[in-house]
Structure 1
Amino acid sequence: MTATISRQRHAAVAADSSGSSFSITANLLQLSKHIKYENLAAGLAGGVISTMVLHPLDLIKIRFAVSDGLKMRPQYDGMLDCMKTIWKLEGIRGLYQGVTPNIWGAGSSWGLYFLFYNAIKAYTQEGRQTELSACEHLVSAAEAGILTLCLTNPVWVTKTRLVLQYNADPSRKQYKGMMDALVKIYRHEGIPGLYRGFVPGLVGTSHAALQFMTYEGLKREQNKCKKMPSESLLSPLEYIAIAAISKIFAVAVTYPYQVVRARLQDQHNNYSGIVDVMRRTWSNEGVEGFYKGMVPNLVRVIPACCITFLVFENVSRLLLGEYH
């Protein structure tokens, strides 16, 4: 009798597990139907163009973010002084240190993000007549962000290491380029080295989620004001304004995580983890330490965001045959 009951229980568990696996597979297949590679191409184009134009500001932002008083770090009086100093020492090459992984990272990140986000959004919208709520946009963007980060974190670690090479003499630099950095990080630090800053990066998905939620909401409201369907194409100026507002809001709320992440990925200092970074930053620099580099970051990310979203909206519609 006991053996019979046990067999029945095992059969029930197996059936439940099988049903659960089937449900997950079915959901993934349904989601895959909404994947449009035009969104990948459009996001890639937007990310690459904005990165090529604005990489020097990204380099300056990271150098300020890790500025914690260590003697080996150059001291700058401000953004212009930083740019002038790098230019004098290394010229244009110095301002574009780490540009290769940045192009790979930004291009792939934006491409994958728009690919996943639009697929998840379409999957959530499937079979419904009502528009998605702000919360649903937030969740869709967060899920897309997590998937993207899992695939691109090693590229961001590499970029951070490359832009924090302060020596002007190429022969004395730790890394010769993107592939050299990837190989050396993996060889000396293993997989954990390539995924440094991953946890604060996960926190950072809230940044993109807040940005996309705000962006979608502002687009919808703008079209309502014009008495147009919510997905109607806006003018370039409208896309630029909406992208800028959504980015400012997201940066203001989530910037400290970027400082924590950059410091974890920095090769010049050793932290035992996120708590150690936060404790030492607070102890040595106070609340201002968590907002170092925010001004050059805003100067960089606002035009970068505007370029990326403007390119994406127009290229994706052109590729999808929705451009009128």
Structure 2
Amino acid sequence: MARPSVETDTGSSRLYSMVRNIKWEYLVAGISGGVVSTLVLHPLDLVKIRFQVNEGYGVTKRPKYNGIVHALRSIARSDGFVGLYQGVTPNIWGAGMSWGLYFFFYNSIKTKMNEGDSKRNLGPGCHIMAATGAGFTTLVLTNPIWVTKTRLCLQYDKPGAPTSSVHYKGMADALFKIYKFEGIRGLYKGFVPGVFGISHGALQFMAYEEMKTVYNTYRNQAIDTRLGSAEYVVFAALSKMFAASTTYPYQVLRSRIQDQHREYGGIRDIVRQIFKYEGVYGFYKGLAPSLLRVTPACAITFVVYENMVTMLIKPS
């Protein structure tokens, strides 16, 4: 009778050890960074999405923009300042949850890999593996929010613009109506290109971690040494530009398949039509506003995150 008790105690000890090593501070810090950067830069995200779905064929009544500044002015002129923040609610939820969960899962996996020793250098391969695991888990949990954000960003109030048979009054209404009319599949539109997009986060975190490691090694200090905001800004911006430029086409595919104004026969059909009618350039539509947004957004997110971590987690 004693043996089950020993096994139960061992299992309880392992569970207690696992829970004790989980640092919820990473979740709070990630959410904080995602929310702050989204509030500051959402208008550029709105413009990026509208550029991504502008095929130049098929749907001809979309608003036409001659550039980023013209797009921002046109939206503000037709819809007011509030128009620049269409879809901001799901974007805040999505960005906050995504960054929070991503940092949380990433650091949990990384802690497991280095057995709790933050001074142990895992190397690029392990960083990519940790980021991939965190990215997939986060995508499964947040994809419905990103579908909602895209739908709300693509509601045009301008006369003559394309209209959908379903009008969304807000985030909750959009989630309900997408599920009602399209089911679970509707909430997970864009999931496949999103899976490919996991490589974006993996490359970004790998580059970010490696730059911090090289920098700390160069300065003859432990690789987990807390740095200043300036260093975090530079490393975050460079890693984001590297990852964004490398993996950007998946974002175009995801926006197109989530668009309520167009119907495609799947990812292959989107790729075929973009290549046929728009060429290679079509896969990079919206890259300029994307980089203008994601680079400072990433810098803001990481600076807020790293400083929150410094405040919340006591040095060991």
Both structures adopt the same fold (TM-score exceeding 0.5): yes
Q: Give the partner amino acid of 1:115.
A: F
For residues 170-229 of structure 1, give each alpha carbon's deviation from its aligned partner in whole angstroms, at most 9, with x where no partner exists: x99811110111111000000000000001101111000000000000001111121111
Q: Give the partner amino acid of 1:296.
A: P
Residues 1:132 and 2:122 are matched in the alignment: yes
Query: CA separation of 1:319/1:80 partners in 2, compared to 1, >3 Å: closer, same or farther?
Result: same
Among 163, 168, 185, which residue is 2:153 paired with? 163
For 2:15 and 2:43, how far apart are their aligned partners in 1? 40
Among 248, 255, 259, which residue is 1:255 paired with? 248
Moved over 3 A (4+): 25-34, 127-130
TM-score computed with the length of structure 2 as normaliser: 0.90
Q: Which residue does the alignment assign to 1:267?
A: 260
TM-score computed with the length of structure 1 as normaliser: 0.88
For 1:190 and 1:145, how far apart are their aligned partners in 2? 24
Q: Give the partner amino acid of 1:181.
A: A
CA contact (8 A) 2:52 2:256 kept: yes
Q: Which residue does the alignment assign to 2:9?
A: none
Q: Which residue does the alignment assign to 1:83?
A: 72
> Which runs of no fewer than 5 residues in structure 1 stay unpaired?
1-24
Q: Which residue does the alignment assign to 1:276?
A: 269
Among 14, 38, 46, which residue is 1:59 paired with? 46
Q: Which residue does the alignment assign to 1:311?
A: 304
For 1:45 and 1:82, how far apart are their aligned partners in 2? 29
Q: Give the partner amino acid of 1:243.
A: A
For 2:154 and 2:283, how far apart are their aligned partners in 1? 18
For 2:18 and 2:270, how far apart are their aligned partners in 1? 38
Counterparts in 2 of 1:205-224, with a 5 A limit?
205-224=198-217
SS at match of 2:248: helix
Residues 1:290 and 2:277 are matched in the alignment: no
SS at match of 2:66: coil
CA contact (8 A) 1:31 1:120 kept: no
CA contact (8 A) 2:232 2:302 kept: yes
Deviates more, 1:219-228 or 1:75-84: 219-228
> Which runs of no fewer than 5 residues in structure 2 stay unpaired?
1-11
Query: CA separation of 1:32/1:200 partners in 2, compared to 1, >3 Å: closer, same or farther?
Result: farther
Taking only the aligned residue pairs, the percentage that are identical comes to 54
User: How big is the alpha-carbon RMSD for the aligned residues of Structure 1 and Structure 2?
Assistant: 2.2
Query: CA separation of 1:127/1:208 partners in 2, compared to 1, >3 Å: closer, same or farther?
Result: closer
CA contact (8 A) 2:53 2:255 kept: yes
For 1:112 and 1:100, how far apart are their aligned partners in 2? 18
Q: Which residue does the alignment assign to 2:139?
A: 149
CA contact (8 A) 1:31 1:119 kept: no
Q: Paired residues, what number?
A: 299
Query: CA separation of 1:127/1:293 partners in 2, compared to 1, >3 Å: closer, same or farther?
Result: closer
Q: Which residue does the alignment assign to 1:49?
A: 36
For 2:14 and 2:132, how far apart are their aligned partners in 1? 18
CA contact (8 A) 2:79 2:157 kept: no
Counterparts in 2 of 1:165-180, with a 5 A limit?
165-168=155-158, 174-180=167-173
1:316 positional shift: 1.3
Q: Give the partner amino acid of 1:250.
A: A
Q: Which residue does the alignment assign to 1:5?
A: none
For 1:158 and 1:29, how far apart are their aligned partners in 2? 38
Q: Which residue does the alignment assign to 1:320?
A: 313
1:291 positional shift: 0.1
1:72 positional shift: 2.2
Query: CA separation of 1:85/1:150 partners in 2, compared to 1, >3 Å: closer, same or farther?
Result: same
1:32 positional shift: 4.6
CA contact (8 A) 1:224 1:230 kept: yes
Q: Give the partner amino acid of 1:318.
A: M
Q: Which residue does the alignment assign to 1:37?
A: 24
Query: CA separation of 1:30/1:283 partners in 2, compared to 1, >3 Å: closer, same or farther?
Result: farther
For 1:28 and 1:124, how far apart are their aligned partners in 2? 17
Among 111, 118, 121, which residue is 1:122 paired with? 111
Residues 1:232 and 2:219 are matched in the alignment: no
Query: CA separation of 1:127/1:44 partners in 2, compared to 1, >3 Å: closer, same or farther?
Result: closer
For residues 204-262 of structure 1, give each alpha carbon's deviation from its aligned partner in whole angstroms, at most 9, with x where no partner exists: 11000000000000001111121111011111111000001100110111000000000
